[in-house]
């Protein structure tokens, strides 16, 4: 009986210790999985989130608003497309996350070009107040899952570059 209890406690200690070591050395989530478009559960969750919170402006098919490159009469830029015809894929997952999560004035401290910051509408900048971090990552994963393979490969280059820059700082 005592040996059984001892073995149970020892097993639990090994499992918990291994988990603690993994968190210390690897963080809570592997960066390559940040917005993993190959994870079907994450993509499904992201699709629902996109449809509820993004599609009204960015389009049901990620097509964006008409004439999205020009300043609208209201003074804001129309919502850009998130499909392969837009510029979303030209940003790393972390830049996309920051665009959604951070207010415009905080974006200036990040590596997002001034012209890109100016395109972000006041509506977009408040999305981080509505969506949780995991939900934003899932939404990015869904968007990425719709891109053709060649675009996904190119966007991975932006992720890799962003990782290298983060390690060098």
Per domain, the residue ranges of the chain are: 1-33, 34-168
Looking at 26-40, 83-97, 131-145, which range is the least confident one?
26-40
pLDDT for residue 64: 94
Supply the CATH classification number for the domain 34-168: 1.10.760
122-137 in b/e form (b: 16+ CB < 10 A) is: eebbebbeebeeebbb
- Whether 52 and 127 have beta carbons less than 8 Å apart is answered as no
Who contacts 43 (Cβ-Cβ below 8 Å, separation ≥6)?
Answer: 37, 138, 141, 142, 145
pLDDT at 79 over 60: yes
pLDDT for residue 129: 57
Mean pLDDT of 16-21: 35
Nearest by Cα to 99 from 156, 59, 151, 139: 139
- Whether 51 and 43 have beta carbons less than 8 Å apart is answered as no
Residue 91, SS3 per DSSP: coil
Any idea which residue has 């190959």 for tokens? 38
Any idea which residue has 């989130």 for tokens? 49
């Amino acid at each position: 009986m005592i040996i059984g209890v001892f073995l149970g406690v020892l097993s639990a200690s090994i499992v918990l210790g291994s988990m603690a070591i993994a968190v210390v050395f690897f963080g809570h989530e592997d960066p390559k999985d940040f917005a993993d478009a190959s994870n079907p559960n994450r993509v499904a969750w992201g699709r629902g989130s996109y449809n509820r919170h993004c599609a009204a402006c960015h389009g049901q098919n990620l097509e964006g608003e008409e004439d999205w490159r020009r300043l609208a009469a209201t003074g804001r830029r129309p919502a850009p497309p998130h499909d392969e015809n837009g510029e979303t894929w030209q940003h790393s997952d972390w830049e996309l996350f920051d665009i959604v999560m951070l207010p415009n004035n905080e974006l200036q401290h990040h590596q997002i070009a001034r012209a890109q910051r100016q395109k972000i509408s006041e509506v977009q900048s408040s999305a981080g107040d509505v969506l949780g971090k995991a939900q934003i990552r899932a939404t990015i994963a869904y968007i990425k899952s719709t891109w053709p393979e060649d675009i996904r490969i190119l966007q991975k280059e932006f992720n890799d570059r962003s990782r290298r820059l983060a390690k060098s700082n």
